[in-house]
Amino acid sequence: MKRLEIAQYIALGATCMTVLGFVINLATQSRWSITMCGYGVMIGLISYFFGGIKTAVKMAGKIAKWGWIILPFPYDIVTGLVAFFISIFVFMALPIIPIRKAYKEQSME
pLDDT in tens, 42-96: 999 999 888 888 888 888 888 888 777 777 777 777 888 888 888 888 888 889 9
Number of domains into which the chain is organized: 1
Contact 87, 63 (CB under 8 A): yes
Pairwise CA distance, residues 64 & 57, whole Å: 10
pLDDT in the model for residue 62: 84
pLDDT in the model for residue 64: 80
Per the structure, the complete domain to which residue 43 belongs is given by 2-108
Q: Residue 16: is its pLDDT beyond 90?
A: yes
Pairwise CA distance, residues 104 & 39, whole Å: 26
